[in-house]
Structure 1
Amino acid sequence: MKIFASSHEFDYSWEEVSTCNWRKYCPWNDKSTHVIAVDTLSRTLSPQTGILRTERLITCKQSAPQWLRSFLGGQDTSLVYEVSYVDAAAKKVTMCSQNMTWSDLLSVQETVVYRPVAGKVGKTVFEQNAKIIALCGGWQKIKNGIEEFTVERFRQNAAKGREGFERVLAISREVFAEERKKKGLQAM
Structure 2
Amino acid sequence: MVRAYTQEHVYRHPWDRVTTASWRKFTDSPKVLSHVTDVHTLSRRLDPDQGTLCTTRSVTVRSPQLPFILRRIIGQDSVVCHCVESTVVDARNRSMEIVVRNVSLRNILEVEERSKYSPHPVHPDRWTVFQQETSIRCKPLSALAAVAEKVEQRCAERFLQNSAKGREVMENICKYLEAEASSATSSAAVGI
Scaled by the length of structure 2, the TM-score of the pair is 0.87
The answer to whether the aligner puts 1:82 opposite 2:85 as a matched pair is yes
Q: Structure 1: how far apart are the matches of 2:48 and 2:177? A: 30
Asked whether the equivalents of residues 30 and 36 of structure 2 are also in contact (C-alpha less than 8 Å), the reply is no
**Is the CA contact (8 Å cut-off) linking 1:115 and 1:124 kept in structure 2?**
yes
Return the letter of the residue paired with 1:22. W
Deviation at 1:66, TM superposition (A): 6.5
**Gaps spanning 5+ residues in structure 2: where?**
none
Q: Distance in 1 between the 2:158 and 2:147 partners? A: 16
Shift of 1:103: 1.0
Runs (4+) off by over 3 Å: 27-30, 179-182
Tell me if the contact between 2:67 and 2:154 (Cα under 8 Å) persists in the aligned partners: no
- What is the aligned-residue identity percentage? 28
Spell out, residue by residue over 1:34-65, the C-alpha distance to the aligned partner (whole angstroms, 9 max, x if none): 21111000000124422110000011222333
The equivalent of 1:8 in structure 2 is 9
Q: What SS does the aligned partner of 2:28 have?
A: coil
Residue of structure 2 equivalent to 1:107: 110
Query: Does residue 130 in structure 1 map to residue 131 in structure 2?
Result: no
Q: Matches of 2:146 and 2:3 in 1, distance apart?
A: 14
Q: Is the 8 A contact 1:72 1:102 kept in 2?
A: no
Counterpart of 2:74 (choices 72, 75, 80) is 72
Give the SS at the match of 2:169: helix
Runs (5+) with no aligned partner, structure 1: none
Tell whether the 8 Å contact from 2:40 to 2:58 is kept in structure 1 after alignment. Answer: yes
Q: In the TM superposition, what whole-angstrom CA distance separates every residue of 1:66-114 from its partner, at most 9, and x where no partner exists?
A: 6233423525321111000000011000000101221111111110000
Q: RMSD of aligned C-alpha atoms?
A: 1.9
For 2:97 and 2:152, the matched residues in 1 are separated by: 24
**Aligned 8 A contact 1:4 1:155 in 2:** no
1:172 alignment partner, one of 173, 177, 186: 177
CA distance in 2, matches of 1:29, 1:12: 22
User: Partners in 2 of 1:69 and 1:180 — Cα distance?
Assistant: 53
**Gap change, CA 1:50 and 1:177, over 3 Å in 2:** same
Distance 1:64 1:133 in 2: 18
Counting matched residue pairs gives 185
> Is 1:21–2:22 an aligned residue pair?
yes
Which position in structure 2 is the counterpart of 1:154? Answer: 159
